[in-house]
Structure 1
């Protein structure tokens, strides 16, 4: 088998695996309501496969540096969520998404002008959540309407996430770990949910899913910091495992805390 053919087949396999992860998780989101949906959406179902593929192609130092670049992008995605939540109350899907995407792009470009340390990336996330969580709180409680799936749902989601996987895999060797870390955290899950759900069920219910994701995004930020530290000390395999365990434990704790509060009512 020629090297070019092997690369193409590997790329297609990676695209298919990533698409399967995100599409499955988004189905769970639609059936479970905004709270559970937000917890699923903030699991590393897009960034996780991207980082696994990066680890297969590069060493632990590449992963550690990429994770450091991903930390401020996690903050940028949270501001994307806040922007969308506010706009979606009165604006169309196109306007709401375009405004949120513009904020993300601006913050992502700004992040590239700063030489980030671990402390700086963590502080950026702390400030972001201190601003965004209180502002999103009042948009969290909206009844989720019944969702009827359309023929283009799966192809659209699969196209979005598989394109991201292909981009990360193809460009990582050229653009280096910093930009790879930015690309890996591109908000594919949020984007696909907004573009599919908003036209169908309206802005406020879709915004409720995004608004409920704030605490989950905080856990993702912690997982990225764990990935950075652990990759340098223990290698990629252990680091990725610890980061995944961090996300799962964080979101399970959020779910358990939510259930406990409901029982008290």
Structure 2
């Protein structure tokens, strides 16, 4: 397989995975509840394919460094969710999404050019996550109205559009160094499409509660990136990737059980 073929295969896989996750999670959050959507969105369905092909095409040190950069970018994802939670009840669906995206860029760019030691990245993510969960609780509605019927044609269209955008990011990231690549592949395109769809189709309250649950759900992505960054250079390449996926699944399950058993955390 040539390098060009590999990039286009990655384009198709990531685009397809993103389209699926946007459609499925937007439906699940409306059909079941925002907790389900917020927890599931942390699964590495989008990041996983990116690092699968990266593991296939690059040396372990590059993969480890990119995963470390991606871990730092998840702090920017938390900033994205925070600004969305604050803005959703005050701006239009599109306006809230744009405000959150601007917050992500403003946070991610400085992190992209900073050193990426893993202990500091973990500490930063944990402190930001806990702080935002406490500070933003007052912006989350206590109850939500019943979800309306899903608008499947529009939902599928948004999912496909998000998938194509992720594919385009894949092509752009392929020529960058590990730090910038890790930041770029972590841009929350899936969150943008999911929250926009929920807000437009079911209202700001459901979208806000999903974003608030997502602050915890992102922990599974952090577990994936941390495990991969730690093991990529010291184990067989695919062993590190598999361990990262396993860690992500375990954290997702724990987050779901913890939040389900303790309503105060929702």
TM score, norm. by length of structure 2: 0.87
For 2:4 and 2:112, the matched residues in 1 are separated by: 34
Q: Give the Cα–Cα distance (whole angstroms) in 1 for the partners of residues 182 and 207 of structure 2.
A: 27
Name the SS for the 1:239 alignment partner: helix
Cα shift at 1:65: 0.7
Deviation, structure 1 residue 32: 2.1
In structure 1, stretches of 5+ residues that fail to align are none
Deviations 1:75-126 (A, max 9, x none): 1101110110011122211221111111100111111231121122112212
Q: Is the 8 A contact 1:61 1:231 kept in 2?
A: yes
1:209 offset after TM fit, Å?
0.4
In structure 2, relative to structure 1, the CA distance for the partners of 1:129 and 1:34 (3 Å cut) is same
Q: Provide the residue aligned with 1:239 in structure 2.
A: 240
Q: What SS is found at the alignment partner of 1:232? A: coil
* Alpha-carbon separation, structure 1, partners of 2:142 and 2:129: 19
Whether the 8 Å CA contact 2:7–2:174 is kept in 1: the answer is no
Counterpart for residue 95 of structure 2:
95
Rate the CA distance shift 1:72–1:11 in 2: closer, same or farther, 3 A.
Answer: closer
Q: Distance in 1 between matches of 2:116 and 2:8?
A: 36
**1:213 aligns to what?**
214
Aligned equivalents of 1:55, 1:109: Cα separation in 2: 24
Q: CA–CA distance in 1 between the matches of 2:130 and 2:82?
A: 12
Moved over 6 A (4+): none
- 1:47 touches 1:185 (CA, 8 Å); kept in 2? yes
After TM superposition, the structure 1 = structure 2 runs for residues 176-187 of structure 1, keeping only pairs within 5 Å, are 176-187=177-188
User: Structure 2, unaligned stretches of length 5 or more?
Assistant: none
Q: Does 1:39 align with 2:39?
A: yes
Q: Report the Cα offset of residue 219 of structure 1.
A: 3.1
Cα distance change on mapping 1:150 and 1:126 into 2, 3 Å: same
